[in-house]
Amino acid sequence: MNARIPDATRRTVLKAIPAMILTAGAFLWGILPERARAAFINTFRTRTVEEDTFRFDPARGEVVWRGGRREPYFLTLDGLVEAPARLSYRDLRALPQVRRTADFHCVEGWSVGDAPWGGVEFRELFARVRVQPQARYVVFHALGQTENVGGLTHYVESLPLVDLLNPALGALLALDLEGSPLQDSRGAPARVISPFDLAYKSIKFVTRAEFTAAPVQGWWTRANPIYPVNAPVDPHRLRSPDPRARTR
């Protein structure tokens, strides 16, 4: 006689399957030869809403616009700060660089385990300015033009300042992937990596970080209202618990 599996047990097993698959994938990623891993990175799926009007030249730290016009890249830090700053690509590279391996979770349901990023910690970056006490969020702005959505013609995302500064969350301003400068399709020259948030929060082509007292609806949320301003990854997709869950 076949014993019936209790519904609660069946649900628990089904919920565990995605995490088991991701863990197995991460293990296989770790034992792949470097060349094979680099080839896999080239298959990293890409979603870009920006018009194809520019590329980035990391050797010269310049944005190259359609038609050939070049201009130096700068990252502007402004808003609720006492000392706004404007950093060139060389300035960013001169800051202490860190390497961080993190899972990447797309809103479409797929994930990449142990993606090897490199870049600058936000604690290091934001030390360049004196942030005012009322600043609670950072609104990131991207290079390039998009379809006009709710008055936005470029990609925008906001994240809590406390999350960006929390080392347990592993957020990073990424400049590299797999040990090389970001490709254009991956968000060159710089992108946000927020491992415990869905990937639409990991804005690409960052050119400005604006400190604000309140969050704003990002481009993706305005274009797709079913997606909220706060976008934590479903716990069942995570291999390690979201540190913020303990404080909610």
In this structure, how many other beta carbons lie within 10 angstroms of the beta carbon of residue 140?
A: 26
Tell me, yes or no, whether 78 lies in a domain.
yes
Q: How far is CA 65 from the centre of its chain?
A: 24
CATH (domain of 147): 3.90.420.10
pLDDT for 48 equals 75
Helix (H, G, I), strand (E, B) or coil at 113: strand
Q: Flag whether 68 is in a domain.
A: yes
The structure's pTM equals 0.82
Number of structural domains, the chain?
Answer: 1
Contacts of 22 (CB under 8 A, 6+ apart): 103, 111, 113, 237, 239
* Host domain of residue 128: 7-236
With a cut of 70, which residues of the chain have pLDDT below it?
A: 1-47, 246-248
What pLDDT does residue 41 have?
52
What sections of 34-149 are H helices per DSSP?
A: 34-41, 89-94, 122-126
Please state, as a whole number, how many other Cβ atoms lie within 10 Å of the Cβ of residue 26: 17
Q: What is the pLDDT of residue 222?
A: 95
Instruction: Tell me, yes or no, whether 63 lies in a domain.
Output: yes
119 within some domain: yes
Q: Are 215 and 182 in contact (CB under 8 A)?
A: no
- What was the pLDDT predicted at 247? 59
* C-beta of residue 183 within 8 angstroms of C-beta of residue 168: no
pLDDT of res. 108: 86
List the Cα angle 89/94/95 in 5-degree steps. Answer: 105
Q: Is 74 part of any domain? A: yes
